[in-house]
Amino acid sequence: MAVAVANVMRKPPPPSAFFTPAGLSDLSFLKLLAAMAGDIVSADSGEMPRYQRRNARCLVRRIITLVVLIEFLIETRRPLPNSAVLCFKELYIVVHRARILLEYCLQSSRLWLLLRNREISGYFQDLEREISTLLDVLPLSDFCLTADVREHVELLRRQVGSSRIYVDYEDEELWIQVLSFLEEFGKGRIPDVSDLKSTFTDRIGMMEARDFESEIEFLQNQINSHEGAVDTEADLATIDGVIAVVRYSRFSLFGAQEVKESNKRTTRRPPPLPVRDISALPKDFCCPISLELMRDPVVVPTGQTYDRHFITQWIAGGHQTCPNSGQNLGNAVLIPNRAIRSLISHWCAANGVASNSPATGSISASASTASKAALEANRATICILVHHLSTGENASKATAARELRMLAKIGKENRAMIGAEEKAISFLNLLLRSPNPNAQENAVTALLNLSINDANKTRIITQPGCLRSIIRVLRFGLTPESKENAAATLFSLSSIQEYKKRVVEEPGGVEALVWLLKRGRLRGKRDAIVALFNLSTHPDSWERMVGSGAVDALVGAVVEEDGVAEEAAGALALLARQRVVAVMLGWEEGAVAGLAGVMRVGSERGRENAAAALHEICRRGGAEVAERVARVPGVARVVQTVAVEGTKRARRKAAALARLLQRREWGPMPLPAPASGWRGAGWGVETTGEMSPVAVPVAVL
């Protein structure tokens, strides 16, 4: 996980996180150190980070001088005093950290480096100070250095001893320009396209659409893995806002042109940054909870000072006492400690340390401003994307659908805005019939993400032909993912009671779910079974479920125990409330044995569902069905076991089932046993339309 440079990590590893190799002679160790330092030096002739270039080159020059010293000692083969060995072991750790920092800068995105400009500069300064300390204690007089080597080392000592933190203020100004676009969107104004081009393309160097997409992907990863990478709500909102601006700029400057995966820049996750040395920090400037330099010191009622972020987390966790003193915090009013904050700022300035206080840390927009700006930028982007869906070429439509899919995935506001955009769902519906597998998959997944919003469920259901198109993708989709996401969309739509019947009655829908449950991948089976479960909750769905073979498929899922038995047992429990279904299940020994098996070895939820299903089968099926259930080997024993050891619900269902199995006076006589198989007109189930399970040709799907 990429970690931030704004702060020491939330849970910093101990100093022993970096170990020097053990068991090497002094000469072998020096050769290893020279090789590692040489790797860094060789990088100087290759690619260097676009930002932090000056700091990076300066660090490499320092290491070049150290390599000169190390190679001299290797050539002379003089034995090293113990103090020198210790210094070189510390230098090994410093060089290792330098390599990590340079890799971090090289692999991070442009905008991320601009956002963290000051903090990363502080990391470079930390390494300079550590090199200076090591040179001060290194016993150079014991090495018998030649004049030129001594001159190089003495010059390096003077340089690192007098160095100060370097922050590139042109980079700062460039980041401020990016934030100005956020402010424009926050005020309801759309930035001029020429200004966007000047900043992102001409100055930052994002020359192609793929560069914009790579930046978006990297920044989104920082949000998704923000523990330790994004420090405050303002940082999080700022990154989210910048992503929205970059996305709008991408489609404003380059349209919806397709970026092929082979041409897309891969965004590598940068290595974790080394932990900053906090041993030199004044103790009074560190938060007692995190041991970090305080960003926003506050005083609690007991008189102790903490960082606001960490004491707030402490209190939110339910603690009512002061971490240091153990006294009761009372009303826990937090008062800013401006005196300590001022002292921290002065100390940071005097020691060349990048201050992490809100006033002097990374430049961010306020959380409210950035959130509003992101909303408006996404709204503008959605308008562009819907326009491309309606008038663009096939490739542009596929790209627009993919981006709408991503927008609908990451925010409820985006889902609402896309759904409210005129004809957005209509155009996605048309794309479901595209011969392009990517276009079809992105369109159905976009509808799935949009359907999380209840208003969008209504728009999708009422859109002429949309439900039919989703079922067509479920049956004949061009990729397994398309079929699975179509099934998940039906599940989402059927979460509203009045839409369950519409989904059940749509020709071919239940049959396609049955096929996916029987022959799909594990994820597809789960999508199909939860959709069937949802549909089973409607009281009028059972005839359709029986006639389409859904009951047969659910029994098969219970018997096979292939990861979906729990959900299948739950659906059977619902369907068994109909007497016809209860009798069918009771007469099928395999179904009863399968449910008993789930009660015996299934999860807690599975045991509950299986007990409920058997209870409904016996209660609704009548005396003869209950007697058949009782005669299935192992049922009585597992019912007794669950009645004692199961969860509260499972025990209740098992106890009720046990009473039914022992009862002598039953309700009305059951329907006659079926002559053969599960399905047939003898069950009194009227089948219309595409109810036969063979209505979904396997070869086509």
State pLDDT tens for residues 505-526.
Answer: 889 989 999 999 888 888 888 8
Per residue in 193-238, pLDDT (tens digit) is 999 999 999 999 999 999 999 999 999 888 877 544 455 566 788 8
Nearest of 494, 556, 492, 498 to residue 572 by alpha carbon: 556
pTM: 0.72
d(CA 274, CA 74): 28
On whether the CB atoms of residues 490 and 509 are closer than 8 A, the answer is: yes
d(CA 7, CA 2): 13
- What integer pLDDT is reported at residue 684 of this predicted model? 30
d(CA 204, CA 192): 17
Lowest mean pLDDT among 94-98, 218-222, 561-565: 561-565
Q: In degrees rounded to 5, what are phi and psi of residue 299? A: -105, 130
| For range 444-450, the mean pLDDT | 96
**What is the Cα Rg of the chain in Å?**
34
- C-alpha dihedral sign at 206, 208, 213, 218: negative
Higher-pLDDT residue of 403, 17: 403
d(CA 434, CA 472): 12
Residue 287 has pLDDT above 60, yes or no: yes
Higher-pLDDT residue of 269, 53: 53
Quick one: the chain helix, strand, coil %, rounded to 5? 65, 0, 35
Nearest of 572, 577, 627, 570 to residue 603 by alpha carbon: 570
